Amino acid sequence: MMVLVINCGSSSIKYQLFDMTNESALAKGLVDRIGMGKSSLTHIPAHRDAVTRTADIHNHSVGIRMVLDALVDKEIGVIDGLDKIAAVGHRVLHGGMKFSDSVLITPEVMAAVEECVELGPLHNPANILGINACAELMPGVPQVAVFDTGFHQTMPPYAFLYGLPYEAFEKYGVRRYGFHGTSHRYIAQRAIQMMGGRKDLRIITCHLGNGASVAAIKNGQCVDTSMGLTPLEGLMMGTRCGDLDPAIVPFLMKKTGMTPDQFDTYMNKKSGLLGLSGVSNDVRDIEEAALGGNDRANLALEVYCYRVRKYIGSYAAAMGGVDVIVFTAGLGENSISMRSRICHGLEFLGTILDSDKNQTRGKEQEISADGSVVKIFVIPTNEELVIARDSVEICSMLCKTDKDHPPALIEKFA
Ligand code: AMP
């Protein structure tokens, strides 16, 4: 059974096609610069070279059409017909308070995703475009929405409320939602498996990519996470500032004359590692500059690691201790030196990094020393696989429980 996973951004579409009989990825790729000119599709069939095709891709519907054409193409394709695709799973950024679990997409679900546009103004509209394009091009194929916020919906009110007047929450839905939920869920589940299936664990998951967040997971459920109403809160990231004194916003707006939109861009696109180092948002560039004697580059890395360490300490306090720390995403999976800098100073928690085991990149590995009370793991994330698994599970379950299930579901999943 094939499942197509789609992740639409405002000007891009990432995709991956899975054969769910053995959970293997048959192809993946990226449609880039939609509606911006010089748009292209890069398609990578498994175990073969990437192929890039340029075209005028003026909207998401055209982009998805190109993806589907590539999947069935005689030369670069991996399936002989679109009818082989049993379901499409979509990454949807913001599910607000409405969605804690993944769902089959229905007109009611679409209306609710639409209502969440206010909370996810950059991503939810693109997600909606992608869902509509798939519905148009693959009529009758069930589609599933997997929300980036869903896993964090188990947070208790004392963790998700801000210290603002209560009406900000009641009237406007201002609260912590958290993001990267699919990634935190995947690596926490893998960590539980690697710990012999123990459910009673206190796990701190560190998703450290260009965007970065930390989550506290107790007994398999998220109890706190560092991103908030938007992905701007929490850790300092590639280009995002993370936690700030909120009074800095009006202070700097008055000083510089920036408008709210300009200030939003300042905090989201010009800050973080890029803004502090003045070099790049990419840790590899900053490390190189730091090695070459650039003090600001080194300071930016120190600020980054200090903040991750502080979150780990505070989440250990939130859970009454910690049993497992997991690193994932670009930096978490690949940067030996940053993992080492983050863990240095966490020994008081019973955390001892093994510097030899830490010499690893991009693969699943325990990196804690034999005597470490807290296990430390590197676990490469796989959000697409979670989306594909949820899609299969939801479609199969509906076939069993819903008497009015659509014919396309019965055909493929019953
Ligand atoms: P992601 O958003 O998960 O794709 O992560 C991208 C970020 O991971 C980059 O901007 C880098 O900061 C970081 N990264 C990726 N590979 C490495 C590496 N080999 N060493 C250090 N940092 C890396």
Could you give the residue range(s) of every CATH 3.30.420.40 domain in the chain?
2-147+384-413, 197-381
Per-residue pLDDT band at 414 (split at 50, 70, 90) = low
The whole-angstrom distance between residue 374's C-alpha and the CA centroid of its chain comes to 25
Encoded tokens for 252:
């700097």
| Residue 206 CB–ligand 1 contact under 6 Å | no
Please state the φ and ψ torsions of residue 73, each to the nearest 5 degrees: -60, 145
Q: For the chain, give the percent of residues with pLDDT over 70.
A: 97
Q: Are the beta carbons of 122 and 268 closer than 8 angstroms?
A: no
Determine the Cα–Cα distance for residues 321 and 348; give it in Å rounded to an integer. 11
Closest ligand 1 atom to residue 287 Cα is 21
pLDDT at residue 408 greater than cutoff 70: no
Closest ligand 1 atom to residue 281 Cα is 10
- Output the CA 324–ligand 1 centroid distance in Å: 22
Q: What is the pLDDT of residue 160?
A: 98
Q: What is the pLDDT of residue 280?
A: 96
Q: What is the mean pLDDT of residues 195-223?
A: 97
Per-residue pLDDT band at 10 (split at 50, 70, 90) = confident
Angstrom CA distances, 163 to 166, 168, 175, 176, stand at 8, 10, 10, 11
Per-residue pLDDT band at 70 (split at 50, 70, 90) = very high
411/227: higher pLDDT: 227
Give the CATH number of domain 2-147+384-413.
3.30.420.40
Per-residue pLDDT band at 398 (split at 50, 70, 90) = confident
84-113 pLDDT, tens digit per residue, is 999 999 999 999 999 999 999 999 999 999
Averaged pLDDT score across all residues of the chain: 95
Closest ligand 1 atom to residue 361 Cα is 19
| Residue 364 CB–ligand 1 contact under 6 Å | no
Tokens 């599933």, located at residue: 144
- Evaluated on CA atoms 234, 235, 238, 244, the torsion sign reads positive
pLDDT at residue 122 greater than cutoff 70: yes
Per-residue pLDDT band at 400 (split at 50, 70, 90) = confident
| Residue 282 CB–ligand 1 contact under 6 Å | yes
Task: For domain 197-381, say whether CATH 3.30.420.40 is its number.
Answer: yes
- List, by residue number, the catalytic residues: 148
- Output the CA 239–ligand 1 centroid distance in Å: 13
pLDDT at residue 405 greater than cutoff 70: no
Per-residue pLDDT band at 42 (split at 50, 70, 90) = very high
Per-residue pLDDT band at 406 (split at 50, 70, 90) = low
| Residue 335 CB–ligand 1 contact under 6 Å | yes
Q: What is the pLDDT of residue 121?
A: 87
- Output the CA 335–ligand 1 centroid distance in Å: 7
The string of DSSP codes covering 32-84 is ESTTSSS-EEEEEETTS--EEEE----SHHHHHHHHHHHHH-TTT-S-S-GGG
Angstrom CA distances, 323 to 205, 255, 326, 359, stand at 11, 46, 10, 22
Q: What is the mean pLDDT of residues 198-224?
A: 97
What does pTM read for this prediction? Answer: 0.94
Encoded tokens for 141:
């194929």
In 195-323 the beta strands, taken as DSSP E runs, fall at 202-208, 212-218, 221-225
Q: What is the pLDDT of residue 170?
A: 97
Element (H, E) at 390: helix 383-401
Mutate to test the pocket of ligand 1, among 240, 277, 331 (most ligand atoms within 8 A of CB): 331
Helices (H) and strands (E) in the chain, counts: 15, 14
| Residue 283 CB–ligand 1 contact under 6 Å | yes
Q: For the chain, give the percent of residues with pLDDT over 90.
A: 92
Per-residue pLDDT band at 213 (split at 50, 70, 90) = very high
Q: What is the mean pLDDT of residues 272-280?
A: 97
Instruction: Enumerate the β-bridge partners of residue 205.
Output: 215, 326
| Residue 210 CB–ligand 1 contact under 6 Å | yes
Spell out a b/e string for 278-296, using b for 16 or more CB atoms within 10 Å of the CB, else e: ebbbbbeebbebbeeebee
Q: What is the mean pLDDT of residues 224-236?
A: 97
Instruction: Enumerate the β-bridge partners of residue 76.
Output: none
- Output the CA 284–ligand 1 centroid distance in Å: 7
Contacts of 304 (CB under 8 A, 6+ apart): 235, 236, 273, 283, 338
145-155 pLDDT, tens digit per residue, is 999 999 999 99
| Residue 274 CB–ligand 1 contact under 6 Å | no
Q: By alpha-carbon position, which residue is closest to atom 20 of ligand 1?
A: 335
Residue 52 neighbours by CB distance under 10 Å: 12
Per-residue pLDDT band at 318 (split at 50, 70, 90) = very high
Q: What is the pLDDT of residue 402?
A: 64
Please state the φ and ψ torsions of residue 222, each to the nearest 5 degrees: -70, 125
The string of DSSP codes covering 161-224 is --SS-HHHHHHH--S---S-HHHHHHHHHHHHHHTTT--S-EEEEEEESSSEEEEEEETTEEEE
Per-residue pLDDT band at 373 (split at 50, 70, 90) = very high
Please state the φ and ψ torsions of residue 163, each to the nearest 5 degrees: -80, 50
